[in-house]
Amino acid sequence: MVAMPNRACAAASLLAAVLCLPGRSAGAPEKEPPAAASERIERLINRGAMEEALAAVDRLLAGQGETARGLFYKGAILYRQSRHREALQHLQKSFSLDENAPDTSKALGLCLVKLGKPDLAETFFAIAVRLAPGDFMARYYLGLRYYISRRFDLAASEFRKAVEIEPDYLDGHAFLGRAQEALGDYEGAARHYGKANELNRESSPGSSLPPLLLGSFLFRQGRMDEAESLLLESIRYDAGNADARYELGLLLERRYAFPRAVEQLQRAASLAPADHRPHYALSRIYRRLGDARKARDAVNRFRERRVRSVTEMR
C-alpha cells in the first residue's frame, strides 16, 4: 500500500539525528560528517557510479539510522537501477519521515509511473510542485500526467510555467507545443515546436524528436517543403526512427512521389513490426499504382497487426 500524504510533523534533520547519537568511544573510527557524506553520495549518483553510491548509502544508514535523506538516496539509486518496487519502499519510508521534501515526492511520482499507478503518481507530482513551485522538472512531470490523460489546458499551463522557469528546457517547449496544438493554438504550437528544434540544433549530439514534431506539425499545416526538410533532418539524427519514416512516407504520397513513399513506408514497417499504420498507407499506394496483389497483401498485414494491437490492449 502506497503511503499517502498526511499532516504529521517531519522527523529531525539528518544533522540533528547525528548530534543525538551517543558519544564515540575511544579508538572507534571517526564517522564522516553527514553533510560530507550526502555530498559524496550525490557526486557518485551524478557520476553514474550506482554500486559505489549504494554502498555509501548503506554505510550512512547503518551508522546514522534511517533518516529521510538517507532513505531518499537509497530509493533514488534503486530507481536508477530499475529496481522500482524496492525503490518505492524506501521512498515511502523517507516520505513518512519528512513530507516536506519535494525531491522525495517527485521521485515517488516517477516510481509510481513505472509501477503502473499514474493517478497516484500525479498526486505526488502535485505535492512536489506545491512544495517547490520553482522546480521546472516537477512542473514538467505534472504536465506530462495531464497531457497523457488529455487534460490539455492543465498540461499547457504546467509546461508553460516550466519553460518560464527554465527557458532553454527543450522537452518543456516540445510538449508545450503538443499541448497547444491539441488545444487548437497553432501559432503557439509552431513557436514552441520551433524553439525546441532550435535548442536541439544547438545541443550535442541532438535528438530526432524535435525535428520530427515540428516537421509533422508543418505537414499537417500543409507546409510541405519545410516539413520534408525537417523529417529528413530527424532521420539524419536517427536512421532507425520509424515514426519519422512513416510521416515522410505519408508526405511523399501526398506529393505523388510514390516510389520514394513506398521505400520510406516499407522501412518504417520493418523498424516497427507491430505498427499497423505503414501497411495501411502502403495498401493505399499500391491501389493507386494498380497493383491489386500487393494492395491486398498490405491490407492483410494491416488487419493482422490491428487485431493484435487491440487484443493486447484488453
What structural domains does the chain harbor?
A: 34-132 (1.25.40.10), 133-238 (1.25.40.10), 259-314 (1.25.40)
Q: What is the pLDDT of residue 73?
A: 92
How high is the mean pLDDT in each 10-residue block of the chain (314 residues)?
37 28 35 74 88 89 88 93 96 96 97 97 98 98 98 98 98 98 98 98 95 98 98 98 98 98 98 96 97 97 86 61
CA dihedral in degrees (178, 180, 183, 185; nearest 10)?
A: -130
Contacts for 146 with CB less than 8 Å, ≥ 6 apart: 122, 152, 154, 155, 158
Q: pLDDT of 5-17, one tens digit each?
A: 433 333 223 222 2
Contacts for 38 with CB less than 8 Å, ≥ 6 apart: 14, 69, 73
Tell me how far CA of residue 220 lies from CA of 57, 173, 227, 233, in angstroms: 51, 19, 9, 17
- Are the CB atoms for 45 and 73 separated by under 8 Å? yes
By the 10 Å C-beta count (0-12 exposed, 13-18 middle, 19+ buried), 31 is classed as middle
Q: How far apart are CA 9 and CA 216, in angstroms?
A: 50
Q: What is the pLDDT of residue 17?
A: 27
Q: What is the pLDDT of residue 15?
A: 27
Residue with cell 513490426: 273
Q: How far apart are CA 303 and CA 288, in angstroms?
A: 19
**Length, in residues, of the chain:** 314
Q: How far apart are CA 270 and CA 92, in angstroms?
A: 43
Give which of 16, 11, 9 is closest to 64, Cα–Cα. Answer: 16
Q: What is the pLDDT of residue 37?
A: 80
Q: Is 271 helix (H, G, I), strand (E, B) or coil?
A: helix
